[in-house]
């Protein structure tokens, strides 16, 4: 009984912080506080995919607004020739490669939500063809009696579009989970069309180049679009970086051509879809 009483006394002392037999307590590390997520994170992404300008250059119904004339050969613009060329352009229009490089800053909002913005540079291509002698890129064509509007061999035309974009995207993801997790993004993009270049196969003199400062360009200088993406992200067990990968799609809110003849709901708008890969740094 006396031996048991001694051991009970020793256990009581241990509970008060004193260990028996001269033992000293070892320091224990307290759990680290949760990482502060209300900070800016910075990153870069690269996107590659398919782009379709999806332009309808037809001006049926608004010819009078473009000073068309039914003059004979060597006269001014021909509405019939222009409409035929516009129809051939759209019939043979094919999507091309689009590439986009983005530098982004992300701010955590609350919970799993964050907001991203930054600057992007993109380049997109497309292909078309026409049997008229002169290439059609949206301008009125002059009927000088030298080319056939239809029935001739098709001449391919390559188009290249360069844009500068400012995105504003709302993201849903887990900002602190290590390993693999899912994310989703939805937002809008405002774009400035820096330049358009069209090259006709076998006819260097037919090349057309429009810049953001060109007067009378058939293309719209400022564009808007909506963008959505989803995929997976990976955060390592140590380190403050993350890798993201997933599909992305974008749809224009307005047509690429400057003067569409169709009403708003019937207008043809550009679209693209591809794969996006990015790296993000910061807690």
Number of neighbouring beta carbons within 10 Å of residue 224: 12
* Domain, as residue range, for 121: 38-281
Two tokens at 240? 């403050």
In-domain check, residue 91:
yes
Q: Indicate whether 12 belongs to any domain.
A: no
CATH number of the domain bearing residue 275: 2.40.160.20
Q: What is the mean pLDDT of residues 252-256?
A: 95
Establish if 186 belongs to a structural domain: yes
Determine, yes or no, domain membership for 26.
no
Query: In this predicted structure, what is the pLDDT of residue 121?
Result: 97
Asked if the structure places residue 8 within a domain, the reply is no
Residue 74 lies in a domain: yes
Task: Kindly report, residue by residue over 213-225, the tens digit of the pLDDT.
Answer: 888 788 999 999 9
Number of domains the chain is built from: 1
Q: What are 74-124's pLDDT values in tens digits?
A: 345 567 777 888 888 899 999 999 999 999 999 999 889 999 999 999 999
- What pLDDT, in 10s, does the model give residues 39-72? 789 999 999 999 999 999 887 766 555 554 444 4
Position 4 in a domain: no
User: Which of residues 283 and 208 earns the better pLDDT score?
Assistant: 208
C-alpha span between 146 and 24 (Å, rounded): 103
Q: Is residue 9 part of a domain?
A: no
The whole-number average pLDDT for the span 136-160 is 69
């Amino acid at each position: 009984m006396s031996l048991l009483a001694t051991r009970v006394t020793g256990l009581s002392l241990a509970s008060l912080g004193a260990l028996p037999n001269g033992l000293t307590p070892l320091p224990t590390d307290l759990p680290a506080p949760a990482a502060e997520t209300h900070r800016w994170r910075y990153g870069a992404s690269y996107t590659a995919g398919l782009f379709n300008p999806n332009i309808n250059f037809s001006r049926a119904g608004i010819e009078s607004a473009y000073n068309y004339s039914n003059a004979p050969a060597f006269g001014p613009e021909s509405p019939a020739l222009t409409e035929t060329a516009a129809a051939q352009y759209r019939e043979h229009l094919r999507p091309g490669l689009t590439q986009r490089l983005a530098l982004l800053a992300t701010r955590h909002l609350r919970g799993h939500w964050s907001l991203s913005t930054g600057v992007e540079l993109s380049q997109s291509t497309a292909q078309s063809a026409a049997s008229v002698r002169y290439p059609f890129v949206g301008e009125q064509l002059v009927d000088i009696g030298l080319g056939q509007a239809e029935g001739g061999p098709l001449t391919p035309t390559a188009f290249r579009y360069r844009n500068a974009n400012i995105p504003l995207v709302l993201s849903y993801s887990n900002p602190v989970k290590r390993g693999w997790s899912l994310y989703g993004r939805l937002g809008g993009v405002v774009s400035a069309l820096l330049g358009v270049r069209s090259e006709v196969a076998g006819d260097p003199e037919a090349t057309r180049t429009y810049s953001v400062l060109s007067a009378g360009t058939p293309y719209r200088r400022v564009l808007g679009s909506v963008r959505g993406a989803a995929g997976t992200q990976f955060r390592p067990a140590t380190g403050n970086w993350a890798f993201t990968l997933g599909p992305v799609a974008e749809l224009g809110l307005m047509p690429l051509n400057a003067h569409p003849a169709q009403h708003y709901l019937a207008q043809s708008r550009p679209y693209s879809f591809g794969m996006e890969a990015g790296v993000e740094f910061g807690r």
